[in-house]
Amino acid sequence: MDYSTLISPALGILVGVLMGLTGAGGGILSVPLLVFFLDLPITEAAPIALCAVALASSIGAILGLKNKILRYKAAGFMAIFGLALSPIGLWLAPKIPNAPLQILFSLILLYVAIRLLRQARNEIKGVPEEHRKPPPCLMNPAIGKLQWTMPCARALMLAGSLAGFLSGLLGVGGGFIIVPALKRYTDLPVKSIVATSLGVLAIITGGGAIFSAASGSLNIMVAAPFALAALGGLLMGQLLGKKISGSYTQLIFSIFTLVIAIGLLIKGVLLFNT
């Protein structure tokens, strides 16, 4: 028996637990964990990660829609542009050597880890958020919907496009782009931001996973147990999250992400020099 059939579900559970504790952001660790423990190149790990994120984010999006906190028009609008750019990333990934791709991924992971670490530290210390001018996408309290303007559409289009491209190129869900973008460009409450982000990710990563399967670049024997285990881990993580402080959970996650990012960077540099 190939040992990956045992390692893959274990990694899936870990990723799912992290997603349940931290939201969609936990999915960004799918690729580096697959690279480390299964010794896969990023071009093979990325489609597997997309399957796991697609399955988990779809469940989250359905729950958000049921609870009427998912802004489905905004999610659909962002996802359209994400779907348009995702195949370009998937097409480009095999044309880039593994070492530079791995270094690029590690740098993005470092950025995410440092940003999360700063946010967690500010929340624990009770540092108030900086005052900002009104965002371009404002909720109309009379109808409970976003008011669409050209600056609003442009901001959401760019965020969706970047998330889609990186999703195809690196196998990341794109939650680390969508969530900050919705926080910056809208006045939606946090729960609605997370649910809307999951809606965008479900469409983009689902499309990427289907495209990967159709092109023959998806290893279904690894992807299926990984994705199903991630879903189970997600439910476990949500239960654990109710008992653990969100700020301290984010602090632990950011430190873990920082360690993984540094390890991936070192591995990429060593690979680049060989």
> What are the start-end ranges of the H helices in 23-97?
30-38, 42-66, 72-92
151 close to 71: Cβ distance less than 8 angstroms: no
At residue 69, the 3 state secondary structure works out as coil
pLDDT digits (tens, 9 = 90+) for 71-123: 889 999 999 999 999 889 888 988 888 888 888 888 988 988 888 888 878 87
In terms of Cβ atoms closer than 10 Å to its own Cβ (0-12, 13-18, 19+), residue 239 is exposed
The tokens 């999250």 sit on which residue? 241
All structural domains of the chain with their residue ranges: 4-273
Cα 52 from Cα 258, distance rounded (Å): 22
Torsion-angle region of residue 147: left (phi > 0), alpha (psi -120 to 50) or beta? beta
137 close to 146: Cβ distance less than 8 angstroms: yes
At residue 271's C-alpha, the angle toward residues 97 and 14, to 5°, is 90
Of 119, 127, 130, 109, nearest to 248 by C-alpha is 119
Stretch (H or E) spanning 199: helix 190-215
Question: Would you state the pLDDT for residue 2?
Answer: 57
Question: Would you state the pLDDT for residue 246?
Answer: 63
* Per-residue buried b or exposed e for 120-142, using 16+ beta carbons within 10 Å of the residue's own CB: beebeeeeeeeeeeebbbbbeee
Question: Would you state the pLDDT for residue 150?
Answer: 92
In the DSSP assignment, the letter for residue 140 is: E
For the chain, 274 residues long, give each residue's pLDDT as a single digit of tens.
456 577 888 888 888 887 777 665 667 888 888 888 888 888 888 888 888 888 888 888 888 888 888 888 999 999 999 999 988 988 898 888 888 888 888 898 898 888 888 887 887 777 776 666 788 888 877 777 788 889 999 999 999 999 999 888 888 777 778 888 888 898 888 778 888 888 898 899 888 888 888 888 888 888 889 989 988 887 887 777 667 666 777 778 788 888 888 888 888 888 777 6
Question: Would you state the pLDDT for residue 184?
Answer: 86
Q: What DSSP string runs through 215-273?
A: HT---HHHHHHHHHHHHHHHHHHHHHHTTS-HHHHHHHHHHHHHHHHHHHHHHHHHHHH
Residue partners of 106: CB distance under 8 A and separation at least 6: 32, 261, 262, 264, 265, 268
The separation between CA 110 and the C-alpha centre of its own chain, rounded to angstroms, equals 14
At residue 138, the 3 state secondary structure works out as strand
Question: Would you state the pLDDT for residue 161?
Answer: 94
Question: Would you state the pLDDT for residue 189?
Answer: 83
Q: Quick check: pTM over 0.85?
A: no
